[in-house]
Structure 1
Amino acid sequence: MKAYVYGANGAEIADVPKPAPKGTQVLVRVHACGLNRADLGMTKGHIHGSAGGVGTVLGMEWAGEVAELGPDAKGVKVGDKVMGSGAAAFAEYTLADHGRLFRSPSNMNFDEAATLPIALTTMHNAVVTNGALQPGQTVLIQGASSGVGLMAMQIAKLKGASLVVGSSTDAGRRARLKDYGADLAIDSSDPNWVDQVLKATDGQGVDLIVDQVSGPVANQNLKATKVKGCIVNVGRLGGTHADFNFDLHAARRITYIGVTFRTRSIEEIRDIFAEVRNDIWSAVEARKLQLPIDRVYSFDEIGQAFAHMEANKHLGKIVVTL
């Protein structure tokens, strides 16, 4: 089968053996894939969790049809339309644990379904499970114009947030954040953004920050979080190291939580998928939670798709079809 592989010459389309499902695995015929920032790093040979390096089939997110079941796989049957996340997604066939997929709603095509698994699971876990957002509370999403950021704002609104603030350093994308739940859009590269957040919250700061930027905004986040508020660190697009004001952190009694899928067990990931199904899946089926598709590429154009992502001018998801 053809797959997008990181090889000795970098990322390229190559022929690789078709995988066979074992245990609780499901073999999926892939029809569409969603691109993610971690994929971009892996096309340059970076390691993401246990994945990466020469010989790696790239990709983390897909939609397709169940082609074959492992002997212990349950909950789906051959022919079911599904979407999910896992390794080696950019290929004609991929393997997934039976607990790491969703049934695609009947009113959703493969392109649309491929945009959702990572955004839904990452941000339900950040906003609801770890962030414990309650109706009437206020939230700031740092890096809100990414696919997961747009989903975070929608989930916050669905859960009754009274104020949703979204950040983007791009003026064009910032202007569109209100279409996806932002009551206030800020530029996190503007030194005065904390004052804007404090003004919008009567000087208190927000109850919750979901941070995908980190690096240079670390101390500003502390200033923008209310006393006994919470920061959930999801991503580090702005840098993995920065100055951190421990005294301010202590004075404001902020709960600071780091999350990633890279060190989670399959049992933990199954629980996250189950929580999404139990809590917000009806909103997905009703199309209340959805992401814009910026551009669709054929599999033969996958290199162009990654170049488009690296240019960082898109809003929403980039999709590759097979």
Structure 2
Amino acid sequence: MKAYVYGADGPAITNIPKPAPMGTQVLVRVRACALNRADLGMTKGHVHGSRGGVGTVLGMEWAGEVAELGPEVKGVKIGDRIMGSGAAAFAEYTLADHGRLFHAPSNMNFDEAATLPVALATMHNAVVTNGALQAGQSVLIQGASSGVGLMAMQIAKFMGAKLVIGSSTDAMRRGRLQEFGADLAVDSSDPGWVDQVLAATNGEGVDLIVDQVSGKVASQNLAATRVKGCIVNVGRLGGTHADFNFDLHAARRIHYIGVTFRTRTIEEIREIFAEVKKDIWPAVEQRKLQLPIDKAFAFDDIADAFAHMEANRHLGKIVVSL
């Protein structure tokens, strides 16, 4: 089968053996896959959790059909249209644990379905489970113009947030955040953004910040969060090390929570997928929670898809169809 593999000379489409499912694994005939920032790093040889380096089949998000079942699989059957996340997505076939997938809604094509698994799982876990957002509260999404950021704003609004603020350093993207639930858009590269957040919250700060940027905004986030508020650290696009105002953190008694899928067990990931299904799945089926496709590419042009992502001018997901 064809797969996009990182080799000694970089990533390339390569012929490799088709995998066979074991235990709770499902063999998926991939019809579409979506790009994520971590994939871009791995095309340069970076390691993401336990994956990366020479020999790695790239990709982590897909939609397709069940082709074969492992002997312990429950909840799906051969021929089901499904979408999910996991290793080695950029291939004609991939393996997935039966608890790490969703049934693709009948009103979505494969390209559309491929955009959703990572964003739904990541941001339900950040906004609802760890952020404990309640109806009537306020939330700031740092890095709101990314695919997962757009989903975070939609989930927050769906869960009843009274004020949703999104940040982006790009004026064009900032101008479109309202389409995805933002009541206010701020530029996190502007030193005055904290004052804008405070003005919008009667000087108190937001109840919750979901931070995909970190780096230089870390201490600014503390100033923009209310006393006894919460910050959930999801991403570190702005850097993994920076100044942190420990005194302000203590004075505001802020709950600061770090999350990642890289160190989670399969049991923990299954629980995250189950919580998505329990809390927000009807909204997914009704297309109240969805992501725009910025551009779609054929699998043979997957290198062009990554060049498009690296140019960093897109809004929404970049999809590759097989």
Name the TM tier (shorter chain).
Answer: over 0.9
Q: Distance in 2 between matches of 1:174 and 1:14?
A: 39
The aligned amino acid for 2:275 is: E
Partner SS state of residue 164, structure 1: strand
What TM-score results when the alignment is normalised by the length of structure 2?
1.00
2: CA distance, partners of 1:103 / 1:315: 26
| Structure 1 partner of 2:182 | 182
Q: Distance in 1 between matches of 2:43 and 2:128?
A: 32
Q: Counterpart of 2:51? A: 51
One-letter amino acid of the counterpart of residue 194, structure 2: V
CA shift, 1:46, in A, is 0.5
CA deviations over 1:265-314 (Å, ceiling 9, x no partner): 00000000000001100000000000000000000110000011011100
Distance in structure 2 (CA, Å) of the matches to 1:30 and 1:268: 24
Cα distance in 1 for partners of 2:299, 2:281 equals: 29
Q: State the Cα distance separating 1:150 from its structure 2 match.
A: 0.2
Give, in whole Å, the separation in 1 of the partners of 2:3 and 2:118: 20
Match of 1:62 in 2: 62
2:27 counterpart SS class: strand
User: 1:143, 1:312 → 2: CA distance?
Assistant: 13
Structure 1 residue 2, shift from structure 2 partner? 0.4
- AA of the residue aligned to 2:86: G
1:247 matches 2:247:
yes
Q: Which residue identity is paired with 2:261?
A: F
Q: Distance in 2 between matches of 1:173 and 1:303?
A: 24
- Report the residue type matching 2:313 in the other structure: K
2-structure distance, mates of 1:93, 1:191? 47
Partner of 2:96: 96
Counterpart in the other structure of 2:259? 259
Tell me which amino acid in the other structure corresponds to 2:249.
H
Instruction: Quote the offset at 1:77 in angstroms.
Output: 0.3
SS of residue in 2 equivalent to 1:88? coil
Q: Deviations over 1:12-57 (max 9, x none)?
A: 1000110000000000000000100000000000000111010000
Number of residue pairs the alignment of both structures matches: 322
User: How big is the shift at 1:68?
Assistant: 0.1
Match in the other structure for 1:313? 313
Which residue number in structure 1 is paired with residue 134 of structure 2? Answer: 134
Tell me the CA shift for residue 223 of structure 1: 0.2
- 1:97-154 CA-to-partner distances (Å, cap 9, x unmatched) read 0000000000010000000000000000000000000000000000000000000000
C-alpha distance in 1 between matches for 2:62 and 2:271: 19
Measured on the aligned residues, the alpha-carbon RMSD in Å equals 0.3
Corresponding residue of 2:11: 11
TM-superposed CA distance for 1:175, in Å, is 0.1
Q: How does 1:201-216 map to 2 (within 5 A)?
A: 201-216=201-216
Distance 2:202 2:316 in 1: 31
Q: Match of 2:199, SS?
A: helix
Aligned with 2:99: secondary structure?
A: coil
Q: Secondary structure at the match of 2:75?
A: coil
- Percentage of matched positions with identical amino acids: 83
Q: Which amino acid aligns with 1:137?
A: Q
After TM superposition, where is structure 1 displaced by more than 6 Å over at least 4 residues in a row? none
Deviation per CA, 1:140-187, whole angstroms, max 9, x where unpaired? 000000000000000000000000000000000000000000000000
SS class of match (1:157): helix
SS in 1 for 2:310: helix
Instruction: Give the superposition deviation at 1:242.
Output: 0.3
1:108 counterpart SS class: coil
1:25 corresponds to 2:11: no
Which residue matches 2:173? Answer: 173
Unaligned runs of 5+ in 1: none
Secondary structure of the corresponding residue to residue 195 of structure 2: helix
Q: TM-score, normalised by structure 1?
A: 1.00
* Residue 62 of structure 1, CA deviation: 0.0
Partner of 2:143: 143
Letter in 2 for 1:60: M
Find the counterpart in structure 2 of residue 73 from structure 1. Answer: 73
Provide the rounded CA distance (Å) in 2 between the counterparts of 1:306 and 1:173.
20
Matched, 1:192 2:199: no
Shift of 1:84: 0.1
AA paired with 1:253?
R
Work out whether 1:155 is the aligned partner of 2:155. Answer: yes
DSSP-derived class of the 2:66 partner: strand
